[in-house]
Amino acid sequence: MASSLTKGAAGNTGGKTFFGHPRGLATLFMTEMWERFSFYGMRALLVVYLISGGPDAGSGSQGGGLAMDLATATAIYSVYNAMVYLLALPGGWFGDRVWGPRKTVAIAAGIIMCGHLALAVPGQAMFFVGLALVATGSGLLKANISTMVGHLYNGPDDPRRDGGFTVFYMSINLGAFIAPFVIGTVGQTVNWHLGFSLAAVGMALGLVQFLLGSRNLDPRSSTVPVPLSAQERTAVVRKGLIWLAVAVVFYAVVVGTGHFTLNWAMIPLTLLGLLLPAGMLLRIKRDKDLTATEQGRMTGYIWFFVAAAVFWMIFDQGASTVQAFGDGKTSTSILGWNFPSTWFQSINPLFIILIAPLFAALWLALNRRGKEPSTTVKFSFALVVIGLSFFVFTIPMSMATGDTKVSPLWLVLIFLMHTIAELCLSPVGLSVTTKLAPAKYASQLMGVWFLAVTAGDCVTGMLAIGGADLSGTGVVALEAALAVVAGCAVFMYRKKITENMSEVK
């Protein structure tokens, strides 16, 4: 990187600061908060809107939804969520090779806003257009905004760097916590499409303040690190047009012959979400340029990736299977006061805000005593806890027969267990990825880590498409058992995994 880009950068300590951090962090904090506000607000409405008016909707729920059954709604939600993380890979590529991080984030915010506006228009066709736009914009934004946070600091040894990312991480949970109370309440109790409109307003606010506050960002965020050459650009455009033409012709034939169903779109996407991460891991593992130590570390890393995929398979059902149960089978009344079921989606981010500092302090205290659990033990614990949460879930499921509705405290307990498991796996997974990644694939493996979410959600999507009753106690118990067995396997083979990791702990 040219030295002229770092002189006078936002990472310097002079001038106004944001909680002791560079002023640009405030811009990125607010951008991420509003983007997460729109993302999680829409996500809180998504499954409830899809099943509204259908056979699996809660009694007395608002009409005007798409009247789908829960299996179809879960498949759509899972594929959508998987695509958000899958598209983070090309999103990072656009930031590195085409537009630069700052321009990519601005374009992404505009795409997200247009997506929510499309969702605000009644009709199934516009719904899927909106969903595709939101997924595309979120993928473009996700990788690049974190890159710009790193630009604010003077290299990896800047003592404020970890604290800056912690402050930034809180913006995600703040937006996720507030969104269901605003977007969820309006959408579920007034009008679905008005709720989606509020998500668009939230993203518009984030875009405006990003453009106004971009002067506080580091100059590196405006540069394209490795711009495409003219030949590369021509090749990319040509290949893109070829694949687009193939897709258009294929689906034109399918539609024209009257064979098109929703599965013609969802099955290829779920297969892509499973095959792409597997292919990338295999390519890295078989690279002959890697040393024996790096090969061993990749073997250990594959264990963590598979464990993470199992984890996200269950965790992300908090906004589909668990949310649908909260809408139809859970009481939403406390002491005579009623609340929208979408409020359940605020429980996890609230627990993150409350518990994350305690976990950080716990790991530090145990580390000082030489008793901090290894990464392998933390992963196994997370898998066991997320599995046990679904075993707990089977209890209220068996109690909610006929018109009987269970206490909302069951869902509070389930989301508490999800949060504890998340704090043992998600930040630890990011850390172990940076430690185990071969030097040649340092950035790419971080993108692969996010594909664990894609893989987990695609498994859920395939189960739903295949007809598995994800709202039945049998399938829920089977998923729970899979997670617990996976957690126990990771624990039993922890010494072998540690040996593969070489000196990395």
| Rounded distance between C-alpha atoms, residue 28 and residue 32, angstroms | 6
For domain 16-227, the CATH architecture is Up-down Bundle (1.20)
The token pair that represents 187 in the structure block: 């959408």
Give, for 228, the enclosing helix (H) or strand (E): none
Residues shown for the chain? 505
Residue 11: its pLDDT value, please? 45
Residue 501: its pLDDT value, please? 65
CA proximity to 91, closest of 144, 140, 148, 146:
140
Cβ-contact 410, 396 below 8 angstroms? yes
Residue 317: its pLDDT value, please? 97
| Rounded distance between C-alpha atoms, residue 382 and residue 89, angstroms | 26
pLDDT tens for 164-182 read: 877 888 899 999 999 999 9
Same fold across 16-227 and 262-505: yes
Residue 292: its pLDDT value, please? 85
pLDDT tens for 451-505 read: 999 999 999 999 999 999 999 999 999 999 999 999 999 999 888 777 766 555 5
CATH class of 262-505: mainly alpha
pTM of the shown model: 0.90
Which residue numbers in the chain have pLDDT < 70? 1-15, 59-61, 156-157, 162, 443, 500-505
Q: Which residues pair with 406 in a beta bridge?
A: 330
CA proximity to 393, closest of 341, 302, 318:
318
Residue 157: its pLDDT value, please? 67
What residue segments make up the domains of the chain, in order of their start?
Answer: 16-227, 231-260, 262-505
Radius of gyration of the chain (CA): 23
| Rounded distance between C-alpha atoms, residue 33 and residue 82, angstroms | 21
Give, for 98, the enclosing helix (H) or strand (E): none
